[in-house]
Chains A and B, each alone.
Chain A
């Protein structure tokens, strides 16, 4: 009858209009228009069905209205989105009366294959707020009249909703904020997914809506009424308009492509979107990576807005933040102030000074606070000026290092990156900005991956897992962790360059960066080593890591324990940042196992000797630095352990050689300098019994604490001992004249012209016992296998003043000669490795036992002193 012909008419209209909209979208790419058009088409259908089944007059019946809510209410109906409808009744009676006709109405819509999301409520029910269903109340914020009793709608819209929102604003904001944070956390709190979901991933359409709702609710709660367009923050709207255009176009594209409400930007979808230039206007041809960059740019803007609002609206604060609301303690700085956990700049034009900007991010990295919206705005304004003369050189490197070392470095880096400051300071990062590299393993873009790797290391300190604690200890032992962080930041820059070997490209790019930062030669070598070898450890995992040859080869490539530690941590961080599950216990265990085998190998293989004619890079470099000395060079270097060349730079070796030249004047050559972390004493002299014990004795007598040491000797019996120490009583720091006196003291004691025992007794009397925080058990291990000529002795003990002197004296007394010493201290644990001989040979089993007994006696005696 009339009904069925209406239905078939509507069906064909719907089909025609849908096809027309799709076609128009295909040619114009205008998502906004497509969405608005579909809204009108559906509205039309609803109104006609209303007239057919509910009331011939669209303005009736009384006390019953049809209202569009949610996306439909906003006028956004994507090709396959649900249609959110509210059947509003004045009272229960009305609801029951219309039940049958509503059912019919809905049935027809289902028959038209339109997906409804209907709700039926009375006014009273709407007024009641259900904290478990904040979504429903929020969907009312976008309500719009479709058909039915105008007066009823006026009451609903004009009075009920504003009052409800004003009354429940706190709960609404809290609920919305919580749900949003949960959703963000599920996505790792980042927009930079390789295959994002346009609706749910941070920076997507859901976030855009949340931003609008947050703003709307807080304004409504103050006004007690609907806001007009001008009271909603204009800057917010403008910034996000472009993003909205793009996202709408992209979502329409996806719906039409999949033929359903699927919002995932798979790789294939990205390819197609790029080919069609969806949302990108008249741009030149785009690759999928280019198109994704545009997407990420918009997503970032949306995410920043949402995050800002979540930070600025007190009711939207997380529970944790609310706890600290009343906290008085605020980090103090003359340049910045902290209000409600956000950073504000003190003076109005201070960003003219680029240093201020660097200090700002250092501050951020130190305290883990966020920037306020006004601060971000001012930074954006300052950027063009900064781009003309960007900071560079040693000054920039200094700030960068300090920032990288702070516990919240990753957050600061992300903020800098999203404000486009990071790529301004380090243009080497531009090629990997928002770069999508397709592989099934990685979850995030290359830049996010690098920052996440840095974050993984900082997070180690708080982790409870057994594995993480081991790696955390290792991190604490590093001398120059800032180099590791810099290497992580730059290690994948090569992925932005076409070609298959990204390691090589990363090295080139990093080289340029290090030049620009005026990084010194040693630091530069370390960073390039790390970047060049960053896949090395993972590669080894595919071999048999329990095979001594594999371990030896890998350890040789590393060369020194410091480099090995850095690479181990870099590997940990790199894998951890691939995706949340990548670092399985299986992997963590394998990496650790390889690390300790290699570390042990390095201690046990220190005595492989150098041959003056040898062809290593280091030797070649040395020869080129000393062309004149010729034969003398060969004689000097011959017989030193390989480790000697690895631990000392070419310049240092040259200096040692020069010192050895002076033996004619002075048999004992001493050099003292202030190093990066410690003081450095270098002794070059001819070997003799008890040399090492005596030397360490002098330092002990002066109250110096030896942290690290190397003792090596060459074929000709020349000894080069390097001691790295801290000046416990600040003797050297406070008195320049003491430097000379100290050096002379070493020379005098070694020449037999000063009484070492007397000096030591004097020191002992004036000292108090050191406090022991971590008890370290004494361990003494002998190893006869690793070296062909010496017996290895490893002593692990509680670090105490004069420890090294006592150990080496004891060894001397037992007539052991120290061929090589590798001394290290970690926290309160001293780790001392000695290569010993007695009468030119390895230690007999009997002598080993004697030595062990004597050492244990000696170490017991030092307890409590």
Chain B
């Protein structure tokens, strides 16, 4: 009663289908294997970024010529793909199988919801743009 209701601005970009962004931080040496595994299940586009970071895997200290060089942000590779919901679990399994060594430092996968995808060339939207 008398309470002002704020309607949120209508998001113009909500797509009908659900799309998910899969972000995986993996060991550099596993990039080729993960790429192949994804291509095999039909994933056609991906973005690869060189990153540095650490989780519980502690840094590395090397002594060279009497000086210490510590690497506390370890170089890793990040892979990003945006997929239709149906593909997500398959992709996650493919990444895990290809990237896993069983030791600390294998990496992590994060999933987030994507509101919209648009192809620049012809403005196609939604899953068709993936």
Q: Could you tell me which A residues sit within 8 Å of B by CB distance?
A: 541-547, 584, 586-587, 589-590, 592-593, 596-597, 599-600, 776-777, 779, 781, 794, 796, 826, 829, 831
Contact = CB atoms under 8 A, between A and B. Distances in A.
Contacts of B63: 600, 781
Contacts of B74: 546
Contacts of B60: 546, 593
Contacts of B71: 589, 593
B28 A593 contact: no
Q: Is the interface of B mostly helix, strand, loop or mixed?
A: strand
A831 B66 contact: yes
B66 A586 contact: no
A600 B29 CA distance: 22
A284 B27 CA distance: 52
Contacts of B119: none
B75 A599 contact: no
Contacts, number: 50
Nearest to A781: B63
B50 A584 contact: yes
A596 B69 contact: yes
A856 B106 CA distance: 43
Given A545-B28, A590-B75, A593-B69, 5 more contacts: A544-B27, A586-B51, A586-B52, A592-B69, A831-B66
A260 B64 CA distance: 58
A829 B65 contact: yes
Contact of A596 (B29, B52, B64, B75): B64
B66 A777 contact: yes
B102 to A, nearest CB: 13
9 smallest A-B Cβ distances: which pairs?
A796-B66, A596-B64, A779-B66, A544-B29, A586-B50, A543-B29, A596-B62, A590-B75, A586-B75
A544 B28 contact: yes
B123 interface: no
Nearest to B51: A586
B31 interface: yes
A600 B63 CA distance: 8
Query: B28, B52, B66, B74: which has the most chain A beta carbons within 10 Å?
Result: B66
28 contacts: A542-B28, A542-B31, A542-B32, A543-B28, A544-B27, A544-B28, A546-B60, A547-B29, A586-B52, A589-B52, A589-B71, A589-B75, A592-B69, A593-B60, A593-B62, A593-B71, A596-B64, A596-B69, A597-B62, A600-B64, A776-B66, A779-B66, A781-B63, A794-B66, A826-B65, A829-B65, A829-B66, A831-B65
Contacts of B65: 796, 826, 829, 831
Contacts of B31: 542
Interface in B24-70: 27-29, 31-32, 50-52, 60, 62-66, 69
Nearest to A824: B65
Chain A interface SS verdict (over half):
mixed
Nearest to B31: A542
Contacts of B62: 593, 596-597, 600
Given A586-B50, A586-B52, A599 B29 contact: no
Contacts of A542: 28-29, 31-32
Nearest to B28: A542
B99 to A, nearest CB: 12
Q: Which of the listed residues B51, B63, B74 has the most CB atoms from chain A within 10 Å of its own CB? A: B63
Nearest to A794: B66
A721 to B, nearest CB: 23
Contacts of B29: 542-544, 547
Nearest to B71: A593
Nearest to B105: A546
A641 to B, nearest CB: 21
A341 to B, nearest CB: 41
Interface string B58-90: 001011111001010011000000000000000
B46 to A, nearest CB: 16
Nearest to B74: A546
Contacts of B75: 586, 589-590
A598 to B, nearest CB: 10
Contacts of A541: 28
Residue of A542, A546, A600, A777 most packed against chain B (CB within 10 A): A546
Contacts of B51: 586
Interface in B107-129: none
A308 to B, nearest CB: 43
Contacts of B52: 586, 589
Contacts of A831: 65-66
A152 to B, nearest CB: 52
Contacts of A779: 66
A521 B66 CA distance: 35
Nearest to A783: B63
A544 B99 CA distance: 12
Contacts of A826: 65
Contacts of A543: 28-29
A399 to B, nearest CB: 35
Contacts of A829: 65-66
B32 to A, nearest CB: 7
Contacts of B69: 592-593, 596
Nearest to A584: B50
A777 B68 CA distance: 13
Among the interface residues A543, A586, A587, A597, which one has the most CB atoms of the partner chain B within 10 A? A586
